[in-house]
Amino acid sequence: MKINIKKTKVMKIRRQPSTIKITVDGEMLQQVEEFKYLGSILSSSGYSKKDIRVRIGMAKSAFNKLNKLLIGGLKLEVKKRLVKT
């Protein structure tokens, strides 16, 4: 297996910021403070405040789109089906 050094980054999860030095084939890997993994934002401090804010924002956006449909002149039965799905 071959590691792509340009794409590989490292992150140390710890409450106090600290640096780590990892080298592969004599080249040091870049240390990052946060990155996105499987849709979640991970930070080196271990807190997920930014991820929570992003997810709340996405939920508000989805609700506002749905809210415009519910306020419109749709029949009650159609509105009920929209909410259930």
Q: DSSP secondary-structure letter at 29?
A: P
Q: What is the tens place of the pLDDT at every residue in 44-63?
A: 887 788 888 988 999 999 88
Separation CA 12–CA 47 (nearest Å): 13
* Segment holding 57, helix H or strand E: helix 49-71
- What is the per-residue pLDDT for 2? 85
pLDDT of amino acid 73: 74
